[in-house]
Structure 1
Amino acid sequence: MPRASVREVIVETAVQEIHKYGYAACSVDTITKAAGVPKGSFYNHFKSKEDLGAEVVRRYATESEWHRSTPGLSPVEQLRARFTTMADLLAGNDFTRGCLIGNMAAERADHSDIIRTQVAISLGTWSDSIVQAIKEAQAAGEVGADLDADRLGRFVLNAWEGTLLRVKADKNTQPLDDFFTVVFDTILR
């Protein structure tokens, strides 16, 4: 198996470290130490920690669970399965970490245009995938055709991100239960 490039090792390590500890708590030094690479090599691949932060958001969005699909499920079941997988990951992490994209939005969007832009792109792509699932559900007769799929897709994602903040504060499943009940048992039924 080919050895990962230094850049790849830095990015993968930064995704893990920033997701676990937050952007501000991770210096270039702590990331490169965790990656097992010399600090100087960081600057061969990134102009700044901010550039790395934007790449971390892009990578997390690209590899996130919301891209996964389960064959044989209806559009709404498929959407629910994606959120269930993410909820299970959150519970498996003792209700810590949440969504790295949402975390970066909360922590850096007001302070870094490059990170804010990547967060906005990533959230837009994610909500577009939810919109697509809702449109497919409407075409299949699972969801009312009178609902605005674009607005509803954005709302579902916004509700999810708010749910993750509340879960991190409450450290229990009540916010997740509320999300699934309102979104899947009330709105998307």
Structure 2
Amino acid sequence: MPRASVREVIVETAVQEIHKYGYAACSVDTITKAAGVPKGSFYNHFKSKEDLGAEVVRRYAAESEWNRTTPGLSPLERLRARFTTMKDILIGNEYTRGCLIGNMAAERADHSDVIRTQVALSLTSWSDGITEEIEQAQAAGEISEKLDARQLGRFVLNAWEGTLLRAKADKNTQPIEDFFTVVFDTVLR
């Protein structure tokens, strides 16, 4: 198997470290030490920690478990399965970490246009995916066609991101149970 490039090792390590500890708690030195690469090599691949942060958001969005689908399910069942997978990951992490994109939005959106822009693009991509599944569920008669699919897609993702924050604070499943009940048993009917 070919050896990963230094840039790739830095990005993969940064995704893990920033997701675990947060952006502010991870210095370039911390990330390069965890990656096992010289600190100077960081600047061969990134102009700044901020540029790395944007790449971390992009990579997390592209490689997230969110992107995995479960074949053989109806559109609404697929959507529910995606959120169930994310719920299981959060519980498996003992209500820590949450969504790296949501975490970066909360931590950096007011301070970095580069990171904020990538967060917004990533959230839009995810809400577009939710919108597609809602449209498919509407076409299949699982969800009312009277509802605006694009607005619902944004709302469902926004509700999920808030759910993750609350679950991290409460350290229990109540916010998640509320999300599933309201979204799947009330809104998406």
Q: Shorter chain as normaliser: what TM range?
A: over 0.9
Aligned to 1:118: 118
Aligned to 2:133: 133
Aligned to 1:181: 181
CA deviation profile, 1:4-38 (whole Å, cap 9, x unmatched): 00000000000000000000000000000000000
Matches within 5 A, 1:9-28: 9-28=9-28
* TM-score of the superposed pair, with normalisation by structure 1: 0.99
Aligned to 2:32: 32
Structure 1 counterpart of 2:10, one-letter code: I
* TM-score of the superposed pair, with normalisation by structure 2: 0.99
Structure 1 counterpart of 2:169, one-letter code: A
Cα RMSD after superposing both structures: 0.4
Aligned to 1:149: 149
CA deviation profile, 1:121-149 (whole Å, cap 9, x unmatched): 00000000000000000000000000010
Matches within 5 A, 1:30-179: 30-179=30-179
Q: Residue 43 of structure 2: SS of its match in structure 1?
A: helix
C-alpha deviation, 1:185, in angstroms: 1.0
Structure 2 counterpart of 1:109, one-letter code: A
Distance in 1 (alpha carbons) for counterparts of 2:136 and 2:66: 16
Distance in 2 (alpha carbons) for counterparts of 1:70 and 1:92: 20
Distance in 1 (alpha carbons) for counterparts of 2:22 and 2:140: 41
Q: Residue 182 of structure 2: SS of its match in structure 1?
A: helix
Distance in 2 (alpha carbons) for counterparts of 1:66 and 1:146: 27
CA deviation profile, 1:25-63 (whole Å, cap 9, x unmatched): 000000000000000000000000000000000000000
| Count of residues in correspondence between the two structures | 189
Structure 1 counterpart of 2:56, one-letter code: V
C-alpha deviation, 1:65, in angstroms: 1.4
Q: Residue 130 of structure 1: SS of its match in structure 2?
A: helix
Distance in 1 (alpha carbons) for counterparts of 2:143 and 2:182: 14
C-alpha deviation, 1:186, in angstroms: 1.1
**Which residues of structure 1 form unaligned runs of 5+?**
none
**Which residues of structure 2 form unaligned runs of 5+?**
none
